[in-house]
Amino acid sequence: MKICPQCQRQFEQSVAFCPFDGQQLAVSENQDALVGRLIDYKYQLHECVAKGGTGSVYRGTHLQLNMPIAIKILHSDSATDFTSVERCRREAYASMQIRHPNAIAVMDFGVTPDGLVYVVMEFLVGKTLRQKIKENRYPSLLEVSEIMTQICAAVAVAHKHKIIHRDLKPENIFVNREGDQEVIKVLDFGIAKFKDVASEEHALQLTRQGVVIGTPYYMSPEQCYGKEIDARSDVYSLGIMLYELLAGRLPFLGQSHTAIAVKQARETPRPIYEIRPNIPPVLNAVVMHALEKSPSNRPSSVEIFAQELNAAMKAISDNEFMKVFSEASEQDLEAAILLTSDPSKILSQNLASNKRSKVPASSTTKKPTMGYNNISSPPGLLPNASGLLPTMDTSAQESMMNPTEIVNQSYLDVEDKSFSDTVSSAPLSETTILNYRETFTNVSRETYMLLQIILSDLDSSKVIDGIFLSELKNAVDQLRSSIYQLQKINT
């Protein structure tokens, strides 16, 4: 940056004179010497956005592609240290091997003729998970699940390439803003361990004996004591992060790294539900399984850890569903059933009910009232249904029948009068044909989709989710009801 000596305004490096007072701009004394530099004739440095112990990260542009980039440059003292340079190269190599949407993309690594060591990465906009935790100490369970699922996806790919991260912690997880979405990115594979090149690492002496690599708060017991590690060490670190996200605090604290390492190896974490009573025990069980002291007692892979977390979240969701179902009013249940078919049909049902209420009693047949005894578990019941679902006209309750018949009755009474008034010899009207065509098309698509899901579960010997079976039954019932009405018209 340049500065005007008279008005003290700051300007870009390319500006020579102050547009306000005409003074020649001077280079700021505090200016970073690398700002404005062109590296390898294609990477332009604009500003320093972060500084660390071994290097700094700059916002830049790939001039040939006109693409924003981030460039990590080692400090001069680190650039002369072979171990630091090799770790930087290994970080670039590991990231380029992974190539996953939830891992930071590295595009280049190089050393300039004057000894500048750099790594070119995708430019991220957002904040680290540590910053996010500081802003919101207790994220929702859904948010925790989404964060951990994305982290696990990237780490699992790294493990498939025989790469152990060894330093998983909130500071190395970035929450990237992509439009209105947040995408998790795993960063910093600088101290990653390559299981296939352990002898090379030993030969290069990248980790000196007696020196602990990683952050003790998130390290597995075997890593704390410098023992051989594998993918299960990363599982332990993920368990620590999950504990922190759920409990709002770390499981082990101490006055020194040694004290923390001892606790990691010997102490059992306090159950999360004792710290936050609203955390279900099933989630605590997932965390404690990942934090087993012996690697053989933990989930054997990140995929299994993620599956356990997803299963726990599903169990919680199912319990919430049953709680809402048991506490919902009859009107909410009726509206929820209609919503599983088509939300717009609630309006049709209300209109149909109003129309039927205007018909003389002598020309109508009273339908049985639908209550709890007539309802099976509605598969589409929405969470927090009470007070959120559209309410139905109370005049319709006395004329309630089977939910499927209600849906089709709404078509009979609202969409086309010829549905109920047509005699056997009368041809179908164009509106009637269109209505039936739409009904059969929608039901056929839904049925096909559900059958594909169920057949896939059968082929893989999975337990079939009862929700899919219930939805399939509803679709078939709707199809049978439409066929029945069509038969009445054509007989």
- In this predicted structure, the answer to whether residue 44 has a pLDDT above a threshold of 80 is yes
C-alpha dihedral sign at 342, 347, 350, 356: negative
Whether residue 421 is predicted with pLDDT greater than 50 in this model: the reply is no
The residue with greater pLDDT, 9 or 225, is 225
Q: Give the integer Cα–Cα distance in Å for 292 and 148.
A: 19
User: What pLDDT does residue 1 have?
Assistant: 63
Confidence of residue 324 (pLDDT cuts 50, 70, 90): low
Q: How confident is the model at residue 399 (pLDDT cuts 50, 70, 90)?
A: very low
Of the two residues 468 and 148, the one the predictor is more confident about is: 148
Ranked by mean pLDDT, the top range of 85-99, 252-266, 422-436 is 252-266
Q: Which residue has the higher pLDDT, 340 or 291?
A: 291
Identify whether the C-beta of residue 192 lies closer than 8 Å to the C-beta of residue 339. no
* Average pLDDT value for residue range 352-369: 44
Dist CA 194 CA 165 (whole Å):
9
CA–CA distance, 488 with 438 (Å, rounded to integer): 19
Q: List, in order of start, the domains of the chain with CATH numbers.
A: 32-122 (3.30.200.20), 126-324 (1.10.510.10), 329-490 (no CATH)
Per residue in 437-474, pLDDT (tens digit) is 777 877 777 777 677 777 777 777 767 767 777 777 87
Lowest mean pLDDT among 116-130, 197-211, 303-317: 197-211
Q: Per-residue pLDDT averaged across 93-101, rounded?
A: 85
**Residue 2 contacts residue 15 (beta carbons within 8 Å):** yes
Q: State the DSSP code for 411.
A: I
The whole-number average pLDDT for the span 36-50 is 91
Confidence of residue 220 (pLDDT cuts 50, 70, 90): very high
Residue 181 clears pLDDT 50, i.e. is over it: yes
* Reported confidence tier of residue 322, pLDDT bands at 50, 70, 90: low
| Per-residue pLDDT tens digits for 15-24 | 778 888 888 7
The answer to whether 342 and 408 have CB atoms below 8 angstroms apart is: no
The yes-or-no verdict on residue 396 having pLDDT over 70 is: no
Q: Return the pLDDT at 405.
A: 40
Compute how many other C-beta atoms are within 10 angstroms of the C-beta atom of residue 316. Answer: 17
CB atoms within 10 A of CB 361: 8
The percentage of residues in the chain with a pLDDT greater than 70, rounded to a whole number, is: 68
Q: How confident is the model at residue 125 (pLDDT cuts 50, 70, 90)?
A: very high
Strands (E), 75-171: 106-111, 117-122, 126-128, 163-164
The residue among 399 and 433 whose pLDDT is bigger is 433
Q: What is the mean pLDDT of residues 150-154?
A: 96
Q: Is the pLDDT of residue 69 over 80?
A: yes
Q: Which helix (H) or strand (E) holds 50?
A: strand 43-51
Give the position of tokens 């112990």. 53
Bridge partners of residue 193, in order along the sequence: 164
Most trustworthy range by pLDDT among 91-105, 286-300, 350-364, 406-420: 286-300
Type of residue at 281: P
Higher pLDDT, 385 or 271: 271
pLDDT of residue 251: 96
CB burial readout 146-172, b (16+ within 10 A) else e: ebbebbbbbbbbbbeebbbbbbbbbbb
Q: How far apart are CA 161 and CA 173, in angstroms?
A: 20
Strand order across the 43-51 sheet: 38-39, 43-51, 55-62, 67-74, 117-122, 106-111
Rounded Cα–Cα distance for residues 174 and 154 (Å): 12
Q: What is the mean pLDDT of the chain?
A: 75
Instruction: Assess whether pLDDT exceeds 60 at residue 368.
Output: no
- For 102-124, what is each residue's pLDDT tens digit? 999 989 999 998 888 999 999 99
8-17, 34-43, 142-151: segment of lowest average pLDDT: 8-17
Q: What is the pLDDT at residue 342?
A: 47
pLDDT for res 391: 37
Catalytic residues: 167
How many angstroms separate the CA atoms of 113 and 129, rounded? 36
Taking the C-alpha atoms of residue 109 and residue 85, their distance in angstroms, rounded to an integer, is 11
Question: What mean pLDDT comes out for the span 374-387?
Answer: 36
Task: Provide the CA 50 distance to its chain's centre, in angstroms.
Answer: 26
| Range scoring the smallest mean pLDDT among 137-151, 165-179, 253-267, 370-384 | 370-384
pLDDT at 375: 34
Is 70 exceeded by the pLDDT of residue 249? yes
pLDDT score at 171: 93
pLDDT the model gives residue 475: 78
∠ CA 245-247-250 to the nearest 5 degrees?
80
Output b/e per residue, 21-46; b: 16+ Cβ within 10 A.
Answer: eeeebeeeeeeeebbbbebeeebbbb
Contacts of 247 (CB under 8 A, 6+ apart): 272, 275, 276, 279
Which residues, 6 or more positions from 43, have their beta carbon under 8 angstroms from its beta carbon? Answer: 60, 61, 62, 63, 69, 71, 118, 120
3-state SS, residue 395 = helix
Per-residue pLDDT band at 46 (split at 50, 70, 90)? very high
Worst-scoring range by mean pLDDT, 58-72, 153-167, 210-224, 374-388?
374-388
- With b for 16 or more beta-carbon neighbours within 10 A and e for fewer, the 215-238 pattern comes to bbbbbbbbbbeeeebbbbbbbbbb
- β-sheet bridge partners, residue 474: none
Residue 26 pLDDT greater than 70, yes or no: yes
